[in-house]
A and B are shown apart, each in its own frame.
Chain A
Amino acid sequence: MGKGYMGKILTVDLDTATWTEERLGDEIYEQYLAGQGLGAYILYNRIPAGADPLGPDNLLGFMAGLLTGTGSLFSGRWTVVGKSPLTGGWGDANCGGQFAPAIKRCGYDGIFFRGVSAKPVYLLIDHDTIEIRDASRLWGKDAVETEEILMEEHGNDARVATIGLSGENLSLISGICNDRGRIAARSGLGAVMGSKKLKAVVLKGCRRIPTGNPLEIKGISQKCNRWVRFDPPKWPGFLNAYLGTVVGLLPTQMAIDGFLYKVLNRIWGTGSMNQMSVGMGDSPIKNWKGTNVDWPFSKSKSVNSDVFTKCEVVKYHCYSCPLGCGGVCSLTGKYSETHKPEYETVLALGGLLMNEDVDSIFYLNEVLNRAGMDTISAGGTVAYAIECYENGILTREDTDGLELTWGNTEAIVALIEKMVKREGIGDILADGSKAAAKKIGKGSMAYAIQAGGQEPAMHDGRGDPGFALHYSVEPTPGRHTIGSQLYYEMFQLWKVVKGLPKIKPLYHKNEKYVADEAKALQAAACSKFMNVVNACGLCLFGVFLGIKRIPVFDWINAATGWSLTPNDYMDIGERIQTIKQAFNVKHGIEPRDYKLSDRALGLPPLAEGANKGRTVPIDKLRRDYWQCFDWDQETGKPTATALKRLGIQL
């Protein structure tokens, strides 16, 4: 009987151009599942302490989720894992498209790379053959060009993950692309791939993926599909913007049901939130020092959700996704099409920089996707540079003549193009705002809004302190895809997991800022649950529908033949979280240092706007969160007791 996983990993040594296959015992999957969890187990045990992230000892893993290819929905995300050159600690990023099942179709749960090749190469797995091929002719080409060339050579059923110029140039905010510009962007793992001179991974396989109970999996999938495809009539996008403004003004808040977000996502994609989030105070404006008053309705309408669906040619679905939040948009000018810009991209290149030119956002979306540079970090770093310019820390001479002012579209476009090519000031900025502030100095670190070296995403912790907490405590800091108070409401975990607090249907906004025991339990539950979700290769937008509608744990039991309870799975999530934190400690990271920049925590608080006067009680929240994991409350390091209980070796 199959168990949903392939039971094998491949490790390629780029120093010697050799590879080894390794069978893993069931007990490893029972403790860590697959995907990110299995990656964490392998990397914790096999990367020597203090290894240079851009050196030969770092391992870069391409992981498929446990549920990927089993017939469960939303299971099309692959995860790249490695020691992050951006944060110096645990690094991971995940991405949709069609690449995830290809890893399992080739017979593996993960493909790892160690060593450094002497010349550019790519890995080709073509059913029964494995080859390391010369990629010199591909070096210097962007991600889309590379993918087109490799698919032309190896057939339209080949799946390609590749780096663009940013990864080649070892930019610490670069990611890995597949499916014409989708990108596993965070943690700077594109630079790790670039450091290994590994241009691409090309997979062609057709292995079957055996599961314990395929009919049960299908039955669950059919029920989920009914929730996803229940479509109410569409309404104009400007109503979303009004809704956001009203929510921002109200003193109370309703608990959000993820079904509402599903509806928005299916019509507009993540862009449904573009203008709405500005009014709600969810979107940081003007490098986190502005508010919705600085970027009012009249300005933010430039990025209304309808603007992006107007030029959408077709909806884009990742593998096994019935939702289709993505889209392919037609463009005029240098590029004829681009993936529909995500909310994060639009706000990082829009409101954060006070840029109202939506054409430039479309263009930069494609430029950054092709280069393989993280749009969140790119936007955050440009915002840092503009504030440096505003305060005289950077001059026109430093910026090669660019007038770096808020909303100056031409300068923003030119600066990002310089960052991709590492030209002039772009060379300093290509490693993110913290690294740039260290080089530029002059007190500019105050303008680098980051956590542990990574720019936080476009969700303001002063509006939802859960975001600020997760930005500050996760082994991968600055990440918005793990937890928040909003996510906890939408996951609805208390319906199946014993001991978790319920959410009131209506509450005063002030309650969000009270650092009580419930907040810590909620945040810890989000982290544990998302570790399971990521280990299964599932998409966040699926699980937003709630654990009853998207019964993740039932799917895993059906795929593996196990009969674990939801609390058992939450324990697995805790183990994965703890081994990632232990990875960081092993590599010399002080978890306390990952705290989000003061400004984004409301220190000092904003004087106006939807988040006026709000400060996140981060120290108390963080201590309580660490305590939930039995980690040291002062240092955030896993205790020996916790490690022993979870079976993690020191």
Chain B
Amino acid sequence: MSYTITEICTGCGACARICPAHAISGEKKKPHTINAELCIDCGACGRVCPKGGILNSIGNACKAVKRSEWPKPRIDNKTCMSCSICIDACPVGCLALSGASGKDPHGHPYLADEKRCIACGYCAVECPVAAIVMTDFQPEAAQASAPAAV
């Protein structure tokens, strides 16, 4: 399954710029297309399309959301087993691994580059132990889960 672009696309290019899988192509100001084989269903294109011109993989129209309102991953270090599956799952590489902290000799993932996060939630989806939840981004929450040493 793949996301698709409808005929109302104006070719603004916002979707192509944010697509982490390089799946969207098209000339400027002309309708764009999504390569179904490359699309990873992350939904970033749907969240940025100003015209609502993108259908998700089950055919529903996506709605643009202000980037500041996109959910962000929140990581529970106690549940986290430091396996780095989330870091690999992230299609934009916005997670990184912290250093050891206090008595815990294991590093843990944290949102190292908030601006790159596309709110796809794959980190939470792929975490085998449900240590990550996607929440509305709150600066104080991010600070609380920030690593002691990087």
Q: Which residues of A contact B (CB under 8 A)?
A: 69, 71-73, 98, 101-102, 105, 126-129, 155-157, 206-208, 217-218, 221-222, 225, 228-229, 312-315, 317, 319-322, 324
* A207 to B51 Cα, complex, angstroms: 27
B129 beta carbon closer than 8 Å to chain A: yes
| Sampled A-B contacts (10; CB under 8 Å) | A71-B126, A101-B88, A157-B92, A207-B21, A217-B128, A314-B100, A317-B107, A319-B83, A319-B88, A320-B83
Q: Which residues of A contact B40 (CB under 8 A)?
A: 206-208
B85 beta carbon closer than 8 Å to chain A: yes
* A314 to B129 Cα, complex, angstroms: 22
Q: In B55-95, which residues have CB < 8 Å from any A CB?
A: 81-85, 87-88, 90-93
Contacts A127-B22, A128-B22, A208-B41 given; indicate if A321 touches B100 (C-beta within 8 A): no
Q: How many A-B residue pairs have CB under 8 A?
A: 83
Max chain B Cβ within 10 angstroms of own Cβ: one of A206, A317, A322: A206
If over half of B's interface residues share one DSSP class (helix, strand or loop), that class is named, otherwise mixed; here it is: loop
* A123 to B21 Cα, complex, angstroms: 19
Q: Which residues of B contact A221 (CB under 8 A)?
A: 128-129
Residue in contact with B91 in the complex, picked from A206, A217, A313, CB distance below 8 Å: A206
Q: Which residues of B contact A (CB under 8 A)?
A: 20-23, 35, 38, 40-41, 81-85, 87-88, 90-93, 96, 99-100, 105-107, 122, 126, 128-129
Q: Which residues of B contact A222 (CB under 8 A)?
A: 128-129
Task: Establish whether residues A315 and B82, one from each chain, have CB atoms under 8 Å apart when the complex forms.
Answer: yes
* A207 to B21 Cα, complex, angstroms: 7
Task: Establish whether residues A315 and B100, one from each chain, have CB atoms under 8 Å apart when the complex forms.
Answer: yes
If over half of A's interface residues share one DSSP class (helix, strand or loop), that class is named, otherwise mixed; here it is: loop
* A324 to B41 Cα, complex, angstroms: 32
- Identify the closest chain A residue to B82 (Cβ): A317
Task: Give the Cβ gap from A505 to chain B, nearest Cβ, in Å.
Answer: 31
Task: Establish whether residues B93 and A225, one from each chain, have CB atoms under 8 Å apart when the complex forms.
Answer: no
Q: Which residues of B contact A98 (CB under 8 A)?
A: 84, 87-88
Contacts A156-B93, A206-B21, A317-B106 given; indicate if A128 touches B81 (C-beta within 8 A): no
Contacts beyond the supplied A208-B122, A312-B105, A320-B83: 15 A-B pairs with Cβ under 8 Å: A69-B88, A73-B83, A98-B84, A127-B38, A206-B40, A206-B91, A206-B92, A207-B38, A218-B128, A228-B81, A314-B106, A317-B82, A320-B84, A321-B83, A322-B83
Residue in contact with B93 in the complex, picked from A73, A127, A157, CB distance below 8 Å: A157
* A207 to B100 Cα, complex, angstroms: 30
Q: Which residues of B contact A207 (CB under 8 A)?
A: 21, 38, 40
Contacts A314-B105, A315-B106, A317-B106 given; indicate if A225 touches B22 (C-beta within 8 A): no
* A324 to B108 Cα, complex, angstroms: 12
Task: Establish whether residues B20 and A206, one from each chain, have CB atoms under 8 Å apart when the complex forms.
Answer: yes
